[in-house]
């Protein structure tokens, strides 16, 4: 138990937080930019795609892309020889989840990023671990 607590404390938290913030700023900026660029009719059409029955699938795919982007940004922040492990990927998921929860508290309009659901967790897990599968040791 003590070894796991040490491992948790020794994660590169600054890089994980930075990667999460950069990821959410990019995704939120893109999402908000779409609301500015697209006419209202197109936004309604896109919004209707996120309704039943395909809404959860689209949400999971978008959250999966957020997870993949988070790993890519983390790789860039960690330098040329990244020391990423499964524990680091779990830390990234935690930071991304916290960032997404905090994002939902901000009144930033968007089309793609919806409210926080359980499917958000599934999408992030799939994205982070599909992109980070090379770091499993």
Predicted pLDDT at 122: 93
**Pair of tokens at residue 39:** 């006419």
- Structure confidence by residue, pLDDT tens digits, 14-56: 999 999 999 999 999 998 888 888 777 666 666 666 667 777 8
Give me the helices (H) in the chain, please.
2-9, 13-37, 40-49, 55-77, 86-105, 118-131
Predicted pLDDT at 10: 83
Listed in sequence order, the residues at least 6 apart from 133 whose beta carbon sits closer than 8 Å to its beta carbon are none
Is residue 80's pLDDT more than 80?
A: no
Predicted confidence band of residue 67 (pLDDT cuts 50, 70, 90) = very high
C-alpha span between 137 and 118 (Å, rounded): 28
Sequence spans of domains, the chain: 47-132
Cβ atoms within 10 Å of 69's Cβ, excluding its own: 20
Stretch 103-116: mean pLDDT: 81
Say which residue, 17 or 133, is predicted with more confidence: 17
């Amino acid at each position: 138990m003590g070894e796991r607590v040490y491992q948790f404390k020794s994660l590169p938290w600054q890089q994980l937080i930075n990667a999460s913030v950069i990821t959410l700023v990019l995704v939120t900026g893109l999402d908000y930019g779409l609301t500015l660029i697209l006419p209202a009719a197109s936004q309604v059409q896109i919004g209707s795609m996120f309704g039943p029955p395909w809404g959860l699938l689209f949400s999971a795919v978008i959250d999966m892309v957020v997870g993949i982007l988070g790993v890519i940004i983390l790789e860039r922040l960690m330098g040329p020889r990244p020391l990423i492990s499964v524990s680091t990927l779990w830390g990234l998921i935690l930071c991304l989840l916290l960032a997404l929860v905090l994002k939902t508290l901000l009144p930033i309009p968007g089309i793609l990023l919806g409210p926080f659901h359980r499917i958000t967790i599934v999408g992030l897990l799939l994205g982070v671990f599909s992109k980070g599968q090379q770091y499993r040791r």
